[in-house]
């Protein structure tokens, strides 16, 4: 069940965190996975960690906010695999700040990756998916798309855009065999979280990790592999009746955090 065997898949942000977990999971389940990330070194390491699997993995260093660079990667993937069955947009950056403390530079930087990057990738694959009258797009949004999160003004803006872009694409291309959904995680235990805690709370890492974990009603953070498992289902043929949906994976945060 939930097989994507022999599917050609692009995963952005695949050098670490959720993106790497999704790329690994998909490769283990038989897909040919094309890993895209700005960090070439992280891609090399991800390729080593994926190792031998049921599928195949290839890496493409790329700045997803650059449309020309994205177009070049799409061309390379098509030349290699002949098709793109699935696109997973997991590339994203975080920002901490309110409206007043968010500079124009901060705002533009978050927008360039989290919004324009998703737009560039979807625009890059939609033509080839339309030509084949089939395809799946999965975007990684956030609970910040649906509820107010303190000190996350720019990040919330960007993930709200990801959610609404998902709905728009699902609506526009439903008659052409293309499905588009998004996943909205709460806090996930990624290298970013560890780095944030180390940088901002030196000497109190364990205490702060526990505190942040307890902000989820379920009492812990999600693991990237759990987001990957949900993503595998949504991109598989077994989910062929699902489009235009947002799937919170949040430990009860949206509905139970009151």
pLDDT tens profile 81-128: 999 999 999 999 999 999 999 999 999 999 999 999 999 999 999 999
Placement of tokens 């598989």 in the chain? 236
Domain count, the chain: 2
In-domain check, residue 257:
no
Query: 86-89 and 8-12 as β-strands: parallel, antiparallel, unpaired?
Result: parallel
Q: Are residues 37 and 120 in the same domain?
A: yes
For 191, 197, 213, the CA distances from 207, given in Å and listed in that order, are: 17, 10, 10
Q: Are residues 29 and 83 in the same domain?
A: yes
The chain-wide mean pLDDT, for the chain, equals 95
Residue 52 confidence (pLDDT): 85
In-domain check, residue 147:
yes
Read off the tokens for 7.
């599917």
pLDDT in tens, 179-214: 999 999 999 998 888 888 898 889 999 999 999 899
Residue 191 confidence (pLDDT): 85
Whole-prediction pTM value? 0.95
In-domain check, residue 256:
no
User: Measured at the alpha carbon of residue 178, what is the angle toward residues 82 and 53, in degrees to the nearest 5?
Assistant: 50
Q: Are residues 204 and 234 in the same domain?
A: no
In-domain check, residue 153:
yes
> What range does the domain containing 28 cover?
8-186+224-250
Confirm if 253 and 186 have CB atoms less than 8 A apart: yes
Torsion over CA: 36, 73, 160, 179 (sign): negative
Known catalytic residue at 173: no
* 166 Rama class: left (phi>0) / alpha (psi -120 to 50) / beta: alpha
Catalytic residue from among 60, 111, 119, 155: 155
Placement of tokens 């960690």 in the chain? 49
Q: Are residues 199 and 145 in the same domain?
A: no
Q: Are residues 178 and 197 in the same domain?
A: no
Q: Are residues 37 and 165 in the same domain?
A: yes
What's the average model confidence in pLDDT over 213-227? 94
Residue 232 confidence (pLDDT): 98
pLDDT in tens, 20-57: 999 999 999 999 999 999 999 999 999 999 988 878 99
């Amino acid at each position: 069940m939930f097989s994507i065997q022999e599917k050609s898949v692009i995963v952005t942000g695949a050098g670490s965190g959720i993106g790497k977990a999704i790329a690994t999971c998909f490769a283990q389940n038989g897909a040919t996975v094309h890993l895209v990330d700005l960090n070439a070194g992280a891609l090399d390491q991800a390729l080593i960690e994926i190792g031998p699997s049921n599928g195949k993995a290839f890496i493409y260093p790329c700045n997803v906010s650059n449309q020309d660079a994205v177009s070049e990667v799409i061309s390379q993937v098509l030349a290699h695999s002949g098709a793109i069955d699935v696109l997973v947009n997991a590339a994203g950056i975080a920002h901490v700040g309110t409206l007043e403390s968010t500079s124009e530079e901060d705002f533009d930087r978050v927008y360039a990756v989290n919004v324009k990057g998703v737009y560039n990738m979807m625009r890059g694959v939609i033509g080839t998916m339309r030509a084949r009258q089939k395809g799946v797009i999965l975007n990684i949004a956030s609970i910040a798309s649906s509820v107010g999160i303190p000190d996350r003004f720019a990040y919330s803006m960007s993930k709200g855009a990801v959610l609404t872009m998902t709905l728009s694409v699902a609506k526009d291309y439903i008659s052409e065999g293309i499905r588009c959904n998004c996943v909205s995680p709460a806090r996930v235990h990624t290298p970013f979280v560890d780095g944030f805690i180390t940088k901002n709370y030196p000497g109190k890492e364990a205490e702060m990790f526990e505190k942040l974990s307890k902000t989820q009603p379920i009492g812990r953070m999600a693991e990237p592999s759990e987001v990957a498992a949900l993503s595998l289902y949504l991109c598989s043929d077994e989910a062929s009746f699902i489009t235009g949906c947002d799937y919170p994976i949040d430990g009860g945060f949206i509905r139970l955090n009151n």
